[in-house]
């Protein structure tokens, strides 16, 4: 077994224009002071990293590593959640998702998709230059408007959607394979890969590609009422990343999973700071440790109620308290009597 690495923190929700959140150097010092030892970098934020430059210049990648190292931290992974979303967008969402891409690609879905694919390929090379083993992203979605089967979906619609999704991602997966980096999809509502079954459908279409892996985030499964512990039993071989994020689900006679179009505070299902929700993290850390998860425990802070700086401060201690330092011996070794083949045969009554 292996001891999970951490605590680490995803910087996306904390970057801002005011110190200490306005530069990689400043925010790393802030994170280190809170007790974090790793940071996950949002690759779309120029205050953190120039993704293309990190992909094309090993010297620049080393500079970024140096800034993080100076604060006593390590880079855990890069993230392309926003760019990955743009690999596949249904036209109904074009206007809203244009904001994820530079202005020159707005109102041009084809050019926007090409930009997003190139971004993912840069991320593969940048991850290699940074010495990283895994990368976080979203799958994007062509089928999400048809998630609920009413009106009745045309025959073959889902098959066509997943075939197209796989065709878009296969060249990207191959780029990650060439760099020796696992591509980890965050299974998330709004993405075509939103639960175990949809991931399996995608996996089949990409021929069980070895780089098609998972970012495990139990909060999204609480909101879907999916068994997030059994999910680990099913998919532990593909889980290469871990977002430590809490959530709660409190249905009433007026609303449930779909939330009645309410804001985050009023929804039955909402994200919470670590320890304030319903996720059984003790069991999660135990299962991941049992299955030899060889990665980082990364706080992703999202909460409808608590201030982010409080959530970050509490999160470091919360994660540290849940990491299991694996044992190097069995608890009953003190009672061992020693053995060899001859002794074992004697115990079994064999000649």
Rg over alpha carbons for the chain, rounded to the nearest Å, is 22
- Contacting residues for 277 by C-beta, under 8 A, at least 6 apart: 219, 222, 246, 247, 248, 271
Q: What is the pLDDT of residue 336?
A: 77
Q: What is the pLDDT of residue 117?
A: 98
pLDDT (average), residues 38-62: 98
| 340 — pLDDT class (breaks 50, 70, 90) | confident
Q: How far apart are CA 139 and CA 169, in angstroms?
A: 8
What is the pLDDT of the chain when averaged over all its residues? 97
Q: What is the pLDDT of residue 41?
A: 98
Question: Residues 126, 51: contact at Cβ < 8 Å?
Answer: yes
Question: Residues 176, 135: contact at Cβ < 8 Å?
Answer: yes
Instruction: Say whether pLDDT at 152 is over 80.
Output: yes
User: Beta strand pairing status for 246-249 and 269-272?
Assistant: antiparallel
- HEC per residue, the chain: CCCCEEEEEECCCCCCCCCCCCCHHHHHHHHHHHCCCEEEEECCCCCCCCHHHHHHCHHHHHHHHHHHHHCCCEEEEEEEHHHHHCCCECHHHHHHHHHHCCHHHCCCHHHHHHHHHHHHHHHHHHHHHCCCCEEEECCCECCHHHCCCCCCCCCCHHHHHHHHHHHHHHHHHHHHHHHCCEEEEECCCCCCCCCHHHHHHHHHHCCCCCCEEEEECCHHHHHHCCCHHHHHHHHCCCEEEEEECEEEECCCCCCCCCHHHCCHHHCCEEEECCCCCCCCHHHHHHHHHHCCCCCEEEECCCCCCCCHHHHHHHHHHHHHHHCCCCCCCCCCHHHCCCCCHHHHHHHCCCC
Q: Is 140 left (phi over 0), alpha (psi -120 to 50) or beta?
A: left
- The C-alpha angle 297, 301, 305, rounded to 5 degrees, equals 145
| 339 — pLDDT class (breaks 50, 70, 90) | confident
pLDDT (average), residues 131-143: 98
Instruction: Say whether pLDDT at 298 is over 80.
Output: yes
Q: Which of 116-125, 155-164, 311-320, 322-331 has the lowest mean pLDDT?
A: 322-331
Q: At the topology level of CATH, where does 5-347 sit?
A: TIM Barrel (3.20.20)
Q: Which residues pair with 216 in a beta bridge?
A: 242
Instruction: Say whether pLDDT at 331 is over 80.
Output: no
Q: What is the pLDDT of residue 303?
A: 97
Report the predicted TM-score, pTM, of the whole model to 2 decimal places.
0.96
Q: What is the pLDDT of residue 109?
A: 98
- Domain residue spans of the chain: 5-347
* High-pLDDT (> 90) share of the chain, %: 93
Q: Which of 77-81, 194-198, 225-229, 339-343 has the lowest mean pLDDT?
A: 339-343
| 327 — pLDDT class (breaks 50, 70, 90) | confident
* High-pLDDT (> 70) share of the chain, %: 99
Look at 309 and 337; give whichever has higher pLDDT.
309
pLDDT (average), residues 103-119: 98
Instruction: Say whether pLDDT at 328 is over 90.
Output: no
Instruction: Say whether pLDDT at 335 is over 90.
Output: no
Q: Which residues pair with 246 in a beta bridge?
A: 272
Instruction: Say whether pLDDT at 330 is over 90.
Output: no
Q: What is the pLDDT of residue 138?
A: 98
Q: How far apart are CA 111 and CA 98, in angstroms?
A: 11
pLDDT (average), residues 37-47: 98
């Amino acid at each position: 077994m292996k001891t999970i690495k951490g605590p680490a923190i995803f910087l996306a929700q904390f970057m801002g224009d005011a110190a200490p959140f306005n530069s990689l150097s400043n925010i790393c010092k802030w994170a280190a002071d809170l007790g974090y030892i790793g940071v996950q970098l949002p690759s779309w934020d120029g205050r953190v990293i120039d993704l293309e430059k990190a992909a094309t210049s090993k010297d620049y990648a080393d500079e970024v590593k140096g800034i993080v190292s100076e604060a006593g931290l390590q880079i855990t992974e890069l993230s392309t959640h926003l760019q990955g979303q743009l690999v596949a967008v249904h036209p109904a969402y074009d206007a809203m998702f244009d904001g994820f891409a530079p202005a020159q690609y707005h109102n041009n879905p084809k050019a926007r998709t090409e930009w997003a694919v190139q971004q993912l390929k840069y991320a593969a090379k940048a991850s290699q230059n940074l010495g990283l083993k895994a990368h976080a992203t979203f799958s994007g979605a062509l089928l999400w408007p048809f998630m609920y089967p009413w009106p009745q979906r045309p025959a073959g619609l889902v098959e066509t959607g997943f075939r197209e999704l796989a065709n878009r991602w296969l060249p990207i997966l191959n780029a990650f394979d060439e760099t020796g980096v696992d591509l980890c999809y965050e299974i998330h509502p709004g993405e075509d890969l939103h639960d175990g079954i949809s991931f399996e459908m995608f996996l089949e279409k990409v021929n069980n590609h070895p780089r098609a892996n998972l970012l495990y985030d139990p909060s999204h499964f609480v909101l879907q009422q999916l068994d997030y512990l059994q999910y680990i039993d099913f998919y532990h071989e593909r889980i290469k990343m871990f977002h430590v994020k809490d959530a709660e689900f409190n249905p009433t006679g007026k609303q449930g999973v779909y939330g009645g179009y309410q804001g985050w505070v009023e929804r039955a299902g909402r994200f919470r700071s670590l320890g304030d929700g319903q996720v059984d993290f003790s069991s999660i850390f135990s299962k991941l440790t049992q299955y030899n998860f060889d990665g980082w425990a990364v706080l992703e802070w999202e909460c409808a109620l608590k201030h982010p700086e409080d959530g970050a401060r509490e999160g470091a201690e919360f994660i540290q308290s849940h990491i299991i330092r694996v044992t190097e011996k069995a608890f009953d070794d003190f009672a061992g009597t020693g053995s060899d083949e001859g002794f074992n045969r004697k115990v079994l009554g064999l000649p």
